[in-house]
Structure 1
Amino acid sequence: MQTHISTTPFGRRTMTLGQIANQARARAMPKEAVANKWHVFQHIREARELLGATDRSLAILNALLSFHRETELSAEGELIVWPSNEQLIARANGISPATLRRHLAVLVECGLIIRRDSPNGKRFARRSRAGEIEQAYGFDLSPIVARAAEFRDLAEAAQAEKRAFRVARERLTLLRRDIVKMIDAGIEEGVPGNWGRVLQTYQAVISRLPRTASRQFIEDICAELHELHAEIRDALESFTKTQNLNANESHFERHIQNSKPDSISESENGFRKKKEASGSVAETDNVRSLPKRDLPLSIVLDACPDMREAAQAREIRQWRDFLAAAELVRTMLGVSPSAWQEAREAMGEVQAAIALAAIYQRAEQINSAGGYLRSLTDKAREGKFSTWPMVMALLRARLDEGKHRQTPENVISEPGPLLEVSDSLLNSLRKRKL
């Protein structure tokens, strides 16, 4: 017969009110309470985040449960196990003694076990002459029985939270995919609207999404994206209602609005056969005489300063930043995704981005940016195109604008940052007619 069950832990370990509450809950459980220890352990494992338990602590709890011979734990039975540290370490996959002590403390703090320490801190059981246990010192598994229903409810709540989180992530993925493809469809089909602003709004929302986000934060982002999704969808649906759609998609004729009678649409096949307007960025007849080295990023930015403004707060320090700005400029110019893809395939990503930057710099002089890019793409396929003439023409134009000022021979002064040009490049600009 047990004389006294210890309440406080042995040694320097402190006592907390939470431990007192867990002990009181264990004493108050009904005498007929019974629980399958492995079923309860499964519930604890599923609800470990809500309980504050760790993977290592659960491994130790699993080892402690294995020291109890019965699968069904009863309130009327003996619920104290007294394995040594060596035995626990062996059954917990060989963890270190320090790790064992630390995670045993976690199990106590979470209310999953109760310490029943002996006067000297040893774990053992005293038996009667008949072999029955009179007094045991070790770890009390009473919370496994007393809180079995609570653990089951927590496991169900954890599963519901996981499902809600998975649904929120799926919704976010679908909204992002729909918005991006609808924006591309709006540009491709010539739907009137400020698609550059729409894309900027979308990127502003997505940029606030961290690498790891809570379910509530993801749902808040989804709510904002849903409003943007509805706005884009309504614009596309309103546009389709105004068109005379053919039931056969293969005979669908795309409507392209153009306020300039003389402008050239990128969908017109005749564009590639027509002569470029006088406001074109550059001629490409002297491709073979151009240098065989790549254009430095600094020269491209000096020739196309509007790219810095298009990048907004982001600085363009390397080609990766330049390519990201080109994607934004594409939507501002209304260049379709198909035209942009063909240009990148024919020229390469960097050269296509430079060509697009030059078009953006002279956007006011070009009627159809998409059509002009397609024309340059055709020339690139034939090996008759290089971005050197375009960039050099823009630099030469800036040089001509600065001639009326009194500046050093190798400096072009304009509002904003100074454009420094080397002597060799300056002579090349003056001699070469691009």
Structure 2
Amino acid sequence: MTEATAIASFRRVSPAILASARMAMANDIPDTSKSEISLLLKKAAPILGIDGTTYHVLDILLGLSRADDWKGAGRPIVAISNAKLAEYTLRSERTVTRCLRRIVEAGIAAYRDSPTGRRFVYRDNDGTVASGFGLDFTPARVRLAEIRESVENYQRELKASQDARRAVTRLSRAIIDACEAFPEKAISWRSAAEAIIGAVAGRAEQASGLESLHAEVLEYAEYRFQEHNMSCAGDIGVTANINTTPKNLSDSNERTRSNERDIISTDNGSAVEMAYENKPEATAGDMQSRLRQAEKTVGDIQGAVLATVPVGLLQVGCRAAQECVSVEFDGWSDVVGAAEMMRRMIGLSEAAWVDGVGRVGRYAASAILATVLEKSLRDPELIAKPGGYFRAMVDRAVDGSLHLSKSLYGLAESEINTRAR
């Protein structure tokens, strides 16, 4: 028998709401588990346009659903009033109403309204739903395979975008290095690189164009190298006396520290110029001095934040965050690589993320981001605005009052105690 659903007459019905209602009437629905569907919907939140308070409301609703209702002929219906949700999220009832509408229009839940507008669930002795009114998550069960495929495609595209962005930065730096090594070709190479960056909008296309230009650069460098070897034929070999000990340890680390600025976006079409400005050996001047001084400041802040935060502590303390982004924090490259996904999961704007990276460094910002995501996943009621929480932690890091290791040790201890029970 087809399951019936009802939408109250006071609701302003849209095609998306009707589509969710039709999916809620399906009978042939796949089995899943509460933990699987909760994790999947959280990963799909950026795709579905769910963030901020809506994400918080969704997390509460999923937590209130019963595990058995996600299997067999069960109907995962959640009955909770808007007033109670407003109390939990510290928002107004009008805001909660809008959040519920976004969840329904996203196609993962449907309205199941009673004639009186009240929400309640009556169950039989065996626990099955005899009669229920509230938010029905049957559409999420119906779309299980579709949502899973969308999440996989989204993560694949996100990884490809990140790889292309890194390639653009890496190739831009290599071309600038070649411009300084071969001044006679500097103008043409830099102009060609700027043309590629300015004419092509997509990261992948920019990386492909720079790859071709870089191949030409390498070919010319090899030609010059062979020409040099031929001109030196017959010369008496003399062993060079080279002092391999750097005069100053900070000078030897100058190139490594410059990598902190790799995260800066090149959307303004000047990736090549930025790579040139970030290069430590660039022409000295007042602006360059200020940039280097700012870099040292960021490096000092990042060093202070991560001094007692090994990556193993992040791995143990942020288990939920790793499951949510499907990345194991085996190394710092994994933490940084998952930053874009974590940023979207907590609803943090790209501008706020770039600002945080510019203030505390890429690795420290990624560690803070993972900690904020972990806390928001464990207890959504504790952090009403994860994006604001991230910015506040960055401010504390700049002030020197952030003790990130204490937070992570607390999360790790809580995780260990939970598993021991």
The 3 A distance-change label for structure 1 pair 3 and 238 is closer
Distance in 2 separating the partners of 1:3 and 1:150: 22
1:236 equivalenced with 2:235 (yes/no): no
Secondary structure in structure 1 of the residue aligned to 2:62: helix
Change in CA separation of 1:129 and 1:221 when aligned onto 2, cut-off 3 Å: closer
Structure 2: distance between partners of 1:125 and 1:112: 19
* Deviation for aligned residue 1:12: 3.8
- Partner of residue 78 from structure 2, selected from 77, 81, 85: 81
Match of 1:110 among 99, 106, 109: 106
Q: Is 1:148 equivalent to 2:144 in the alignment?
A: yes
Q: Which has the higher contact order (CA 8 A, sep 6+)?
A: 2
Does the 8 A contact of 1:172 with 1:222 survive in 2? yes
Q: CA, structure 1 residues 54+29, in 2 after alignment: closer, same or farther (shift >3 Å)?
A: farther
Name the CA distance, whole Å, in 1 between partners of 2:19 and 2:69. Answer: 24
Report the Cα distance in structure 2 between the residues aligned to 1:202 and 1:7, rounded to whole angstroms. 60
Which residue in 2 is equivalent to 1:255? none
Alpha-carbon distance between aligned partners in 1 of 2:128 and 2:195, rounded to the nearest angstrom = 71
Tell me, in whole angstroms, the C-alpha distance in 2 between the residues paired with 1:95 and 1:7. 27
- Separation (CA, whole Å) in 2 of partners of 1:140 and 1:153: 22
The whole-number CA distance in structure 1 between the counterparts of 2:117 and 2:238 is: 82
Shift of residue 129, structure 1, vs aligned partner: 11
Change (3 A) 1:26 1:48: same
**Alpha-carbon contact 1:38-1:71 (below 8 Å) kept:** no
Q: In the TM superposition, what are the counterparts of 1:315-330 in structure 2 within 5 Å?
A: none
**Offset, 1:47:** 2.0
Task: From 26, 29, 52, give the equivalent of 1:28.
Answer: 26
Between the two proteins, the alignment pairs up a number of residues equal to: 249
- Tell whether the 8 Å contact from 1:6 to 1:118 is kept in structure 2 after alignment: no
Report the secondary structure of 1:174's partner residue.
helix
Higher helix share: 2
1:45 maps to 2:27: no
Counterpart of 2:65? 68
Whether the 8 Å contact between 1:57 and 1:107 is mirrored in structure 2 is: yes
Distance 2:61 2:8 in 1: 18
Instruction: Confirm whether residue 205 of structure 1 aligns to residue 212 of structure 2.
Output: no
Indicate conservation of the 8 Å contact 2:24/2:136, yes or no: no
- Report 1:334-353 matches (<5 A): 341=283, 344=284
Contact 1:126-1:135 at 8 Å conserved across structures: yes
Deviation digits for residues 104-144 of structure 1 (CA, Å, limit 9, x no counterpart): 11101111110011223222346789998543221111123
Deviation by residue 1:218-241 (Cα, 9 ceiling, x = unmatched): 111112212221222211111111
The answer to which of 43-52 and 127-136 deviates more is 127-136
Equivalents in 1 of 2:125, 2:216: separation in Å? 84
Q: Cα deviations across residues 180-223 of structure 1 (Å, max 9, x unaligned)?
A: 10111112xxxxx44223222323434568xxx7xxx0111112
Question: For 1:201 and 1:65, how far apart are their aligned partners in 2?
Answer: 53
Per-residue deviation, 1:243: 1.7
Matched, 1:183 2:179: yes
Give the whole-Å Cα distance in 1 for the aligned partners of 2:112 and 2:127. Answer: 21
Counterpart contact for 1:8–1:15, Cα < 8 Å = no
Query: In 1, distance between residues paired with 2:46 and 2:4?
Result: 31
SS of corresponding position for 1:234:
helix
1:135 counterpart SS class: strand
1:220 and 2:205 equivalent? yes
Q: Which amino acid aligns with 2:188?
A: R
Question: Residue 109 of structure 1 aligns to which amino acid in structure 2?
Answer: E
Structure 1: where are the runs of 5+ without partners?
188-192, 253-323, 329-336, 351-434
Is the 1:7–1:116 Cα contact (8 Å) retained in structure 2? yes
Partner Cα separation in structure 2 for residue 225 and residue 132 of structure 1: 61
Q: Secondary structure at the match of 2:118?
A: coil
Give the direction of change, closer, same or farther, for the CA distance of 1:149–1:127 in structure 2 (3 Å limit). Answer: closer
1:9/1:176 Cα in 2 relative to 1: closer, same or farther (>3 Å)?
farther
| 2:10 alignment partner in structure 1 | 11
Instruction: From the superposition, tell whether residues 249 and 9 of structure 1 become closer, same or farther in structure 2 (CA, over 3 Å).
Output: farther
Q: CA deviation at 1:94?
A: 1.9
Indicate whether 1:162 and 2:158 are aligned. Answer: yes
Paired residue type of 1:70: A
Distance 1:4 1:175, change over 3 A: closer
The one-letter code of the counterpart of 2:7 is: T
- Asked whether 1:196 is paired with 2:192, we answer no
Kindly indicate whether the alpha-carbon contact (under 8 Å) linking 1:183 and 1:232 is maintained by their aligned counterparts in 2: no
Matched, 1:137 2:136: no
CA contact (8 A) 2:123 2:131 kept: yes
CA-to-aligned-CA distance 1:267-301 (integer Å, 9 cap, x gap): xxxxxxxxxxxxxxxxxxxxxxxxxxxxxxxxxxx
Amino acid at match of 2:196: V
User: Considering only CA atoms, is the larger Rg found in Structure 1 or Structure 2?
Assistant: 1
User: Would the aligned equivalents of 2:196 and 2:210 in 1 still touch at CA under 8 Å?
Assistant: yes
Unmatched segments (≥5 aa) in structure 2: 242-272, 289-421
Equivalence map 1:232-381=2 (5 Å): 232-244=217-229, 341=283, 344=284
- CA distance, structure 1, for counterparts of residue 35 and residue 127 of structure 2: 28
Q: 1:134 to 1:202 in 2, by over 3 A?
A: closer
Work out whether residues 70 and 141 of structure 2, in 8 Å CA contact, stay in contact via their aligned partners in 1. yes
CA contact (8 A) 1:113 1:141 kept: yes
**How many angstroms apart in 2 are the aligned matches of 1:156 and 1:218?**
20
